Homo-oligomer: A and B are copies of this chain.
């Protein structure tokens, strides 16, 4: 998934090769979908001031204003410039300022300094969005469906919208990271209603040995996929068991109480170096409370709250997820195992805690007792033990977009299932998100596996 590691996150001109382009079937709804996705980005900054939208709290994160401008730059540069007969840039300087990493497009502004772009102002960027939107909608309405370039226009537009949805999640996680530095612990949204939970105990769900067909399938997964989800290919998977739900804060507290952050034998060698170099003793955004009843506090997009034991653990690095699993005498699943479970009858995206719910935080699971695996979609991205590698027979898309995914297949791990900050329509069972093992600022948690 289009994320945030080093230069990769933001930047795709991801033009699917013709034969792979599935977007043709979408065109009817495209202008409407365009409006909806673009508006959602603006809705996300409604609670923020111009100053909030300026913040960049680390090189891996970008200001909200930069996200808004860059997403618009994508449509302007890759679509308007190509399809508008009398194309004229909104502002030529934006070509450099809001390019994310394309050397093909020319110079770009250094990533760690994006927080220093005070000009254009947020107001100006919103004007930029409005103008580009008007021009995009005109294009989508004017070019006839049987025009020879229409298929490419649709494909690129769909890609731009997928790109926009990826950045919507990044925008939220970047804003959360930036606001966390404020001693005022400001909330982004109103506090969610945490009803009392009848917690689901962790059960083990069994899966049989078999030769799985793994990877993107248009029938099951819908009309769009990134190249890294292809090709579909056989994988031999030995029988295993998967936990019925995500690991919770309560379980993480037991790990902490048991000295989890102080015991080198629980950690990968590189993970232990990370613990010591960063003095990590708690998950990201946790702090110690001031009373015994209030032992730990948690900075969320709703402000500072008590740590709830039944809520899925979140903002864990791969190192933490792996150490927790070892402590629990279990392991992380592979991405094959996860995908097998996610395609099972009981699992479904419907009703998952995605960004549309407006909660912006994972939610506790009420008891289900149905013997199935739950919370596979939404809530938190689930770390897998699978490295982010090419599938056998992987071919990057042709053209510039070929750099979108393949270049990052090194020292990263795959996460699956989407989170409370992911748009539901952006996710599918074959979707592969990926981050380096020390990344914590995404909504990342884990589910245990064992056997095999």
Interface residues of A (CB under 8 A from B): 6-8, 49-52, 54-55, 57, 93, 96-97, 103, 109, 113, 115-119, 121-122, 178-179, 181-184, 186, 211, 233-236, 238, 264-265, 267-271, 273, 318, 334, 385-387, 389-390, 392-393, 403, 407-411, 437, 452
Do A49 and B186 have beta carbons less than 8 Å apart?
no
Which residues on the B side are within 8 Å of A55 (C-beta)? 54, 115-116, 118
Shortest CB-to-CB span from A79 to chain B, Å, is 23
Of the candidates B50, B235, B389, the one whose C-beta lies within 8 Å of that of A387 is B389
Shortest CB-to-CB span from A329 to chain B, Å, is 12
State whether A109 and B410 are in contact (beta carbons under 8 Å apart), knowing that A51-B54, A270-B6, A392-B238 are contacts in the complex. no
Which residues on the B side are within 8 Å of A49 (C-beta)? 50, 118-119, 121
Which residues on the B side are within 8 Å of A122 (C-beta)? 51
Of the candidates B182, B386, B411, the one whose C-beta lies within 8 Å of that of A119 is B182
Is chain A's binding surface mostly helix, strand, loop or mixed? loop
Do B97 and A183 have beta carbons less than 8 Å apart?
yes
Q: Can you report 18 A-B residue pairs in the complex whose CB atoms are below 8 A from each other? A: A6-B270, A7-B269, A49-B50, A51-B118, A51-B121, A55-B116, A93-B184, A96-B183, A97-B183, A116-B178, A211-B236, A235-B236, A236-B236, A267-B407, A268-B408, A270-B408, A387-B389, A411-B437
Bound CA span A51–B119, Å = 8
Which residues on the B side are within 8 Å of A6 (C-beta)? 269-270, 273
Which residues on the B side are within 8 Å of A403 (C-beta)? 265
Number of copies: 4
Instruction: List 20 additional contacts besides A51-B118, A119-B186, A234-B236; criterion CB under 8 Å.
Output: A7-B269, A49-B118, A49-B119, A50-B51, A51-B119, A51-B122, A52-B119, A54-B54, A54-B55, A55-B116, A113-B181, A116-B178, A119-B184, A211-B236, A234-B238, A236-B236, A267-B407, A268-B409, A268-B410, A270-B410
Which residues on the B side are within 8 Å of A115 (C-beta)? 55, 115
State whether A269 and B407 are in contact (beta carbons under 8 Å apart), knowing that A50-B50, A118-B54, A385-B389 are contacts in the complex. yes
Do B268 and A407 have beta carbons less than 8 Å apart?
yes
Bound CA span A48–B289, Å = 40
For A409, give the chain B residue with the smallest CB separation. B268
Bound CA span A265–B404, Å = 11
Bound CA span A268–B408, Å = 6
Do B118 and A178 have beta carbons less than 8 Å apart?
yes
Minimum-distance CB pairs A-B, first 7: A387-B387, A51-B118, A116-B181, A269-B407, A52-B118, A411-B411, A236-B236
Which residues on the B side are within 8 Å of A119 (C-beta)? 49, 51-52, 182, 184, 186
Which residues on the B side are within 8 Å of A96 (C-beta)? 183
Which residues on the B side are within 8 Å of A52 (C-beta)? 118-119
Which residues on the B side are within 8 Å of A386 (C-beta)? 389
Which residues on the B side are within 8 Å of A116 (C-beta)? 55, 57, 178, 181-182
For A268, give the chain B residue with the smallest CB separation. B410
Which residues on the B side are within 8 Å of A186 (C-beta)? 119
Which residues on the B side are within 8 Å of A109 (C-beta)? 183
Bound CA span A450–B12, Å = 27
Bound CA span A334–B394, Å = 13
Shortest CB-to-CB span from A115 to chain B, Å, is 7
Bound CA span A116–B268, Å = 28
Shortest CB-to-CB span from A391 to chain B, Å, is 10
